[in-house]
Structure 1
Amino acid sequence: MSSKRYTDEFKAEAVKQVLDRGFTVVDVAGRLGLHTHTLYAWVKSARVSEKPGNSGLSSGGGDAAEVRRLKAELKRVTEERDIPKKSRRVLCQGVRAKYAFMRAHIREFRLITMCRVLGVHRSGYYAWLSDETSAREREDKRLLGLIKHAWLASGTVYGHRKITLDLREAGEVCSRHRVQRLMRAEGLRAQVGYGSKPRHRGGPMGVVENVLNRDFTPDAPNKVWVTDITYIRTYEGWLFLAAVVDLYSRQVVGWATQPTMTRDLVLQALLAAVWKRKPGPGVMVHSDQGSQFTSSDWQSFLKAHRMVPSMSRRGNCHDNAVAESFFSALKKERIKRRIYPNREAARSDVFDYIEMFYNPIRRHGSAGDLSPVEFERRYAQSGN
């Protein structure tokens, strides 16, 4: 374990268990699967950074200032990474499309960062906000009013072709395609005929069969993983948690948190599991039919790591009961009905529950009343 590379966030949480929560280095190292010398080094480094005069900072403020600097740098790097992901189609479009993207994501990213990534000026964005409607858009609004009048006058039975004829007869110059576009955007359509009863024609793209079929008792670790997403309330907004659980021992082998429920969230959790466990080919990964798990990125990741996908049946939560059971335990035993002050506090408490209690300490009936870590340790000692 000592040869692995750990993130700065993981190190900070591990050190916090010793310095803030009062655990011993030996106890924390044992629960997290670390070498004691490694954790001693992290704690020593954290204490040195807190000494007065360190790095030219005043007494007691060095660590806080450094944390603020690192958080600001992390936020900047994360924004510069995430903005291009969400603006792939916008980057090759005009300035107005970029301005519209910036307004839609102003609560998620800083304006100065979006301007730098998208290659626009703040002054132009503010000018666009003050008068964002173009002459074309104003003309569309006027024309839409005439279209609604003609549509209602027909008893809602006219489509775009007949409404175009009415407008041209009234002296308007407009194309049939423009009228069709405006009517589609407004949800106006010809109300003719009885229609047909909608029928379900299969699930979304990317859905696979339920290979697991509720067989929740594999005979070894790293054979079947289950994954799902839940949410945690904070005064900053929702914090979404994705977790990957090994069915053999019920150990949470990977997890990730983000303020949005995107495919990147589940990919980060699965990547953490692969990084931690380093499984061989053929691991089955079971999930529900959420859009995050039916995305092309998720399927490509499973294929690249030679994993076998499996999905619950549509609307059947019992097919993924183990993942649901973990989230239920998390909320009943730790979160309950509380609301965290911010997302960072919620994430820290999730780390404490999973890494310091659930995996190394909490007993499971399905694991012979042992903790997941101890259950797997005995499996390894048995020579299986």
Structure 2
Amino acid sequence: MSARRAQIHTEHALPKVRRCALLGVARATAYYRPAPVGEQDLALMRLIDEIHLQWPFYASRRLRDELQRHGQWVSRQRVQRLMRRMGLQALYPRRRTSQPGKGHKVYPYLLRNLSIDHANQVWATDITYIPMAKGFMYLVAIMDWHSRRVLSWRVSNYCGTGALFDT
């Protein structure tokens, strides 16, 4: 679906209405601009994040109760919506987590028997987010496994959903 939406926003001689009709996409999606995150939601998201870091096994009901202990009276549906927006899920044992799906290719661990004995042999990358006053900053680092040295890093306020936060 997103590939069809991307075709709507390209420069073309056909009008946008006609492109939507040909691609079978509603016209409303062509003109939709996501609303910016409000101050109250950002404050609530920050508090949810702090609670989730402390108790990652809390789901929306217990998070709502914990928010009420902090003086924030919100509905469970709002907590669920914000958790979805933040990409948070409660951590608990799920069924058959170690069972691969049918037809799923199992990729080998290429570093299992490798002796890492010099620099620039193996690199690793990691991404994390840093809570700020208005949203989050994202930090990406590339490290050398042998020397544990940070080779490169970048900080960005782009969240990947198309929204930029003011910092």
TM-score of the two chains, using structure 2 as the length reference: 0.44
**Higher helix share goes to which structure?**
1
